[in-house]
Amino acid sequence: MTNDYNCMYANTTNYFNNGTPGVSAGAHDVTSDPVFVDAANDDYALASGSSCIDTGTDVGLTSDYLGNPIPAGSAPDIGAYEKTA
């Protein structure tokens, strides 16, 4: 099994080597800091400069968890929230 299009910042050991033989990282996984707006206060929206912006894969969704549109013709962001202006 290959995991792909995920963000595993600071948790690659548990994610990739969780005791399940044959689980490996995907070519599009992000392991760098996702740069949240304010994680200390539970704001997990992506901040400017996040490595998760435009690095997801199109699965047919047109909006994120909050209803923000996912722009047509570009890759969605990795995570629950699409980066907005």
Q: How far apart are CA 71 and CA 12, in angstroms?
A: 30
| pTM given for the model | 0.78
> Which one has a higher pLDDT value, 64 or 18?
64
- 36-74: per-residue pLDDT in tens? 999 999 999 999 999 999 999 999 999 999 999 999 888
